Structure 1
């Protein structure tokens, strides 16, 4: 991409929203090469000005409040004293600033929701129209996407579109669904003079050949993030890389390494919401459990956890011993927290109890109380 920009002596790049360029760190690379890169999707533009990364694959600035965006614009845009109390005022200001960037862009970079092998078209879905401006105003267009975006037929793109939009934003159709057929043809007055496609693999061929190949069917709708209780509690930045939520907890270990991101598959309650809402029927909870199993088999899990799980597995196969051991454990925890109603430090869980108190349990296990209640009723 940098070579293409330098070949055309370009200095100003305008970009549409693209998770692929986030994955490769393209913006930083181009800026180190002396280019000025402007994100034109409003959410991406906001976090670019803030020097942050996206917190949601559909709504990159979901973590920013209106007050934070207002203060950011007042600080970054040298437009004098002005009133940005209304959301409409902030949007209008962003349009004003970005309009000059659009008109001055020498190279446009966009992503693609689909590449259609049947006719060579690329499909892009947006709600702001910035993708069309990035694609048609500069003389050079670069489409950056991944090999799993290639679809055989136009009708496949139509099916993808119906699922993607409803799952991503709840709309029957986005404001802009664009199909690009290549550079400007003879006699046409609009469109780029050159169109280039950059297809990223980055381990996807290996994923296709492995047991997690269904993950490549992900259409990046973000539905699993929206419904995930873990994502709702910790936010997108806690996932540490480009992809967040359940899909990120599977995809990140596959694209990077399980060693570097072993915490992600464990950040899951296996409630199954992600599987219920996934339009591609990707078995995300099963994949997360499989990654946990791989972590255990390869010895990435801490020794105390592996031994603890083996002990729990042994006890679970011997119900009488399980009830006896849990009865003793509950009794001891009850005695430790009886006076204050909580336990400040739990043996073997110092890291956990350093941040919170553990409520003292009752003196008897549930099963003992249940049996006592049944005998009392009789």
Structure 2
């Protein structure tokens, strides 16, 4: 059975290309900087974050009632509502709908939930033509990859590489990498797919319990194009995406795009309430581990996430190691607190892929305490989950030393003297992972305790 590489091993592979790693880092920091500028233009920014967080607190405490209210109103609007306890049931619902409506060609706008459920591969294996219509998603679909970022799925690719992909799949000029030229080629290619498709699949950014309607946010208008032309619209929604009232929507729309890309709002904010005459609309409400996460007191706040990606754009680990190093549908800090709840063994290294600097928490538009949850997952994993024997031994040894002041002082003195006289090869070698890319600071002549004893009277 194929084993999933640890985050550290996958990150090391990405870091072998130093130029790409630095470029990836700089690109995402640029997006983070745009977010800061956009936020600073809103005097009430922190109040918006507080409001959004409190609304989500209400949602998580009343999720069952809000979902039932949402279902009732959606059905009254003429939407067929289905429930799925896991990814397999979600995929089976989609398959049944397509079979009943005799659909073979479908277009899909960006949906992290369907990526989470593996819908594309599931349908392709059964002979369906599934076309991702978001430009970034289409690029990685051509490249047989999964998204490396939840908002910018092809952020790991440079324009020359995209040009080569389009040359192979769309017949663009060899070596052409002008973004306008490549975008126009994609537009012409996708237009034919929109016209041919009989069904459109979208995600859902917000479901509104009060009205039974839902909102899809895009920058390319591809969700609108697909749903307007197709006879069948299938919307796939994680149950945590519910909000109570239409009046609450404005709070989240002001936060979402600014946090994601630094825009004031997404170019298209599309509201769906009912199917048009002669057409059908289905809404699939998906659990897939969400109620389990809701039941974890320390981690339930992770379900507040509105999938803006701000925590990824600011995270020094994600920026340097790329989304592929996480091995999960949602990478970065938020993925590192969501994924262990789905499969602790597979994702046991993710909570350790963090400096615990708190930058992710600081930029989160709904105030998820991400860095605190990362720390708590570390405690759970160390206690219950798999861990390297060498790390367990080192932690036991370190804990024993730090619990005995005299032993701690003795070991500190020994370490200072040893490091000051040791040859470089003794300190910087294959056993010292931290020394691969770092230099230790100059060894101090005395401990802080010794210095303080000498100088405290001054």
> Could you tell me the TM-score, scaled by structure 2's length?
0.74
- 2:344 and 2:385 in contact (8 A); partners too: no
Larger mean Cα displacement after TM superposition, 149-158 or 110-119: 149-158
Partner of 2:76: none
Distance 2:244 2:402 in 1: 50
Structure 1: which 5+ residue stretches go unaligned? 186-191
Q: Is the 8 A contact 1:183 1:194 kept in 2?
A: yes
Which structure shows the bigger proportion of residues in helix conformation? 2
Q: How does 1:185-200 map to 2 (within 5 A)?
A: 185=277, 193-200=279-286
- The match for 1:189 is none
- Report which stretch shifted further, 321-330 or 221-230: 321-330
Q: 2:436 aligns with which of 339, 350, 356?
A: 356
- The answer for the alignment partner of 2:254 in structure 1 is 162
Q: 2:134 maps to which residue? A: 41
Judging changes above 3 Å, is the alpha-carbon distance between structure 1 residues 161 and 368 closer, same or farther for their aligned structure 2 residues? closer
State the shift of 1:360 in Å. 6.7
2:208 maps to 1:116: yes
Kindly indicate whether the alpha-carbon contact (under 8 Å) linking 1:13 and 1:106 is maintained by their aligned counterparts in 2.
Answer: yes
Query: Is the 2:208–2:243 Cα contact (8 Å) retained in structure 1?
Result: yes
Matched, 1:259 2:352: no
- 1:357 and 1:85 map into 2 onto residues whose CA distance is 34
Q: 2:174 and 2:273 mapped to 1: Cα distance?
A: 43
Q: Report the Cα offset of residue 365 of structure 1.
A: 5.3
What's the counterpart of residue 91 of structure 1?
A: 183
Summarize the Cα distance change of 1:316–1:34 in structure 2 as closer, same or farther, 3 Å threshold: same
Structure-2 residue corresponding to 1:280 = 366
Partner SS, residue 279 of structure 1:
coil
2:377 maps to 1:291: yes
Q: Give the CA deviation at 1:319.
A: 3.6
Determine the structure 1 residue equivalent to 2:154. Answer: 61
SS at 2:263 equivalent? coil
For 1:365 and 1:134, the matched residues in 2 are separated by: 69
> Could you tell me the TM-score, scaled by structure 1's length?
0.89
Matches within 5 A, 1:81-230: 81=173, 84-185=176-277, 193-211=279-297, 212-230=299-317
Is the contact made by 1:343 and 1:357 (CA closer than 8 Å) also made in structure 2?
Answer: no
Q: Considering only aligned residues, what root-mean-square deviation do their CA atoms show, in Å?
A: 2.4
Aligned partner of 1:343 among 412, 425, 428:
428
Choose 1 or 2 for highest CA Rg.
1
Q: Which of residues 277, 281, 303 is equivalent to 2:389?
A: 303
CA change 1:363–1:182 in 2 (3 A) is closer
SS in 1 for 2:422: helix
Partner of 2:335: 248
In structure 2, the residue matched to 1:32 is 125
C-alpha deviation, 1:362, in angstroms: 4.9
Instruction: Indicate if the aligned counterparts of 2:412 and 2:447 stay in contact, CA closer than 8 A.
Output: no
1:4 match: 97
- The match for 2:326 is 239
Q: 1:202 to 1:95 in 2, by over 3 A?
A: same
Matched-pair contact (CA < 8 Å) for 2:428–2:436: no
What is the CA deviation profile of residues 171-226 of structure 1, one whole-angstrom value per residue up to 9, with x for unaligned ones?
111111010112113xxxxxx70000111101111111221111110000100000
1:38 is paired with a residue whose SS is strand
Contact 1:327 1:364 in 2 (8 A): no
